[in-house]
Amino acid sequence: MFELSRRLEFSAAHRLHNPDFTDARNSELYGVCNNANGHGHNYVLDVTVRGPADAATGMVMDLNRLAQLLHEVIFVAVDHKHLDHDVPWLTGRVSTAENVAAAMWEQLQPHLGDLLFRLRLYESAANFVDYYGPAGARPAV
C-alpha cells in the first residue's frame, strides 16, 4: 500500500467569526483571527491518496492528473480570494482550518473516491490540521 501526496499552495483571506455568537464572544473565542476586516494566510494543502501501485503503470494514480484536479477544483476557487465571501462552498461555515479542510474534502472526494486518504491543511508553518473524511466514512488503517 502506498500513500502518494501532492502539495498545493494558495493565498487567501478570511475571518473567524460565528454569527451565532455575540461580538464579545467572537473576540474572546477567536482573538486576532476575529479582526473585523479579515487577515491573510499562505495556505499549504497536502492531498494524500492511498492505494496499491497499479501492476502495469507502477502508479497509485497519475500525479499529473492529481495536480490538474487540485488546480481546477481547489486553486482556482480559493487563490487570492476571501474564503468567507468568494467561495460558494465555504459560505455559511466559520473558516477554521478544520472547516476549510472538510469543505475541500467534499469537493475532492467525488473525483477521487476511495483513493482520497488525507488532507493536511497548513495555515502557517506551525499550524495545520489533518482530515481523514467524515467519521466512519472509511475503515481505520
Tell the smallest beta-carbon distance from residue 42 to Ni ion (Å). Answer: 11
Would you say 30 or 132 has its CB closer to Ni ion? 30
Tell the smallest beta-carbon distance from residue 41 to Ni ion (Å). Answer: 5
Write out the three cell numbers for 118.
Answer: 488525507
DSSP structure string for 3-48: EEEEEEEEEEEE----TTS-HHHHHHHHGGGG-TT-EEEEEEEEEE
Would you say 60 or 101 has its CB closer to Ni ion? 101
Neighbours of 78 (CB within 10 A): 25
Kindly state whether residue 101 participates in binding Ni ion, applying the rule CB under 5 A: no
Written as one letter, the residue type at 126 is A
Q: Is 123 a catalytic residue?
A: yes
- Distance in angstroms (rounded) separating the CA atoms of residues 126 and 132: 20
Q: Is 80 a catalytic residue?
A: yes
Using CB under 5 A as the binding rule, the residues of this chain from 17 to 56 that contact Ni ion are 33
Tell the smallest beta-carbon distance from residue 86 to Ni ion (Å). Answer: 15
Binding site for Ni ion (CB under 5 A): 33
Instruction: Return the active site residues.
Output: 33, 80, 123
